[in-house]
């Protein structure tokens, strides 16, 4: 098969691993920068032009689109869909997962547990917002934040008020969530492929850091998920129609609580922690589901 990885950086670990495993299976893999693609729209003849050629030979696409290029990247994925090319993540599913508010609404409707969350239209009634999530400490998240950026822990009502006022002044939209103290600065990342959990790790924030992101100095170790945690990961994947995704959860006194679903999960941390060949799982998923 001719498989295209939509990525702006061919040297990233995840991209290199997918190329390595795909070539071992006899496929031809190519990394294409979605921002350099021209979308050609005409009656019954959707096409994509890249550099000096039309991409009319592609059998499958693996979107590895960064949050900063979501709009155009998804437009390119959508065009491949119009060309009947198989993709590991649909454009619509990527857009839903990148919209924190929309994805939480969908996941809540699906009956998945999550921290109490409040979204308001620049509300000045901070006391009411704090009460809705059970008081302080609480978490304030920018809707557009990634990799732990734009996430603030407000330990007191005064701190919450100051942060919310600052974000409101910048007209930055945020969600407010309860702080799960018993998680102790750790979360779980489950990697789902073809709707099944193929690997999981526990990420622990460095000392004094409530965010567990590996990009922020956190550490990761393999973990065996319990039945409830596996169920949450699989239901989240199904609810957002993302057969390949990373599902982040917290361990709480009332069971696993979902944080978010990542449509472009990195492979380096989880392959190192689990010593599992996640890249091969993704290539195998394409082989099993691509329609010749």
First to last CA, the chain: 9
pTM for this structure?
Answer: 0.89
**C-alpha–C-alpha distance, residues 279 and 263, integer Å:** 15
> Which tens digit of pLDDT belongs to each residue from 195-238?
999 999 998 876 655 555 555 556 789 999 999 999 999 999 99
DSSP-derived 3-state class of residue 200: strand
Dump pLDDT digits (tens) for 19-53: 999 999 999 999 999 999 999 999 889 999 999 99
Tell me if residue 51 falls in helix, strand or coil: coil
Averaged pLDDT score across all residues of the chain: 90
CB 256 within 8 A of CB 230: no
Residues contacting 156, CB < 8 A, separation 6+: 136, 137
Asked if 11 and 272 touch (Cβ cutoff 8 Å), the reply is no
Report how far residue 74's alpha carbon sits from residue 92's, in angstroms, rounded to the nearest whole number.
8
3-state class (DSSP) for residue 113: coil
pLDDT above 60: residue 289: yes
Pairing of strands 174-178, 186-193: unpaired
């Amino acid at each position: 098969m001719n498989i295209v990885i939509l990525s702006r950086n061919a040297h990233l670990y995840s991209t290199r691993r997918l190329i390595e495993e795909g070539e071992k299976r006899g496929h031809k893999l190519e990394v294409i920068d979605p921002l350099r693609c021209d979308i050609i729209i005409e009656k019954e003849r959707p096409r994509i032009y890249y550099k000096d050629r039309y991409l009319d030979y592609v059998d499958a696409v693996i979107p590895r689109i960064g949050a900063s290029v979501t709009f155009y990247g998804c437009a390119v994925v959508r065009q491949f869909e119009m060309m009947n090319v198989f993709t590991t993540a649909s454009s619509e599913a990527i857009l839903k997962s990148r919209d924190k508010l929309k994805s939480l609404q969908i996941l809540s409707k699906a009956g998945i547990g999550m921290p109490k969350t409040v979204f308001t239209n620049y509300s000045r009634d901070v006391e009411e917002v704090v009460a809705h999530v059970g008081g302080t400490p609480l978490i304030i998240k920018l809707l557009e934040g990634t990799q732990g950026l734009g996430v603030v822990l407000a330990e007191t009502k005064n701190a919450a008020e100051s942060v919310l006022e600052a974000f409101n002044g910048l007209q930055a939209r945020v969600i407010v969530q309860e702080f799960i103290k018993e998680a102790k600065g750790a979360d779980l990342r489950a990697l789902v492929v073809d709707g099944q959990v193929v690997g999981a790790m526990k990420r622990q924030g460095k000392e004094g850091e409530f965010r567990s992101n590996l990009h922020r100095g956190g550490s990761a170790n393999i973990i065996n998920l319990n039945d409830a945690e596996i169920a949450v990961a699989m239901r989240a994947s199904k609810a957002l129609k993302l057969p390949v995704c990373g599902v982040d959860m917290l361990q709480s006194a009332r069971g696993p609580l979902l944080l978010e679903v990542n449509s472009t999960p990195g492979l380096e941390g989880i392959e190192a922690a689990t010593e599992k060949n996640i890249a091969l799982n993704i290539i195998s998923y394409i082989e099993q589901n691509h329609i010749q």
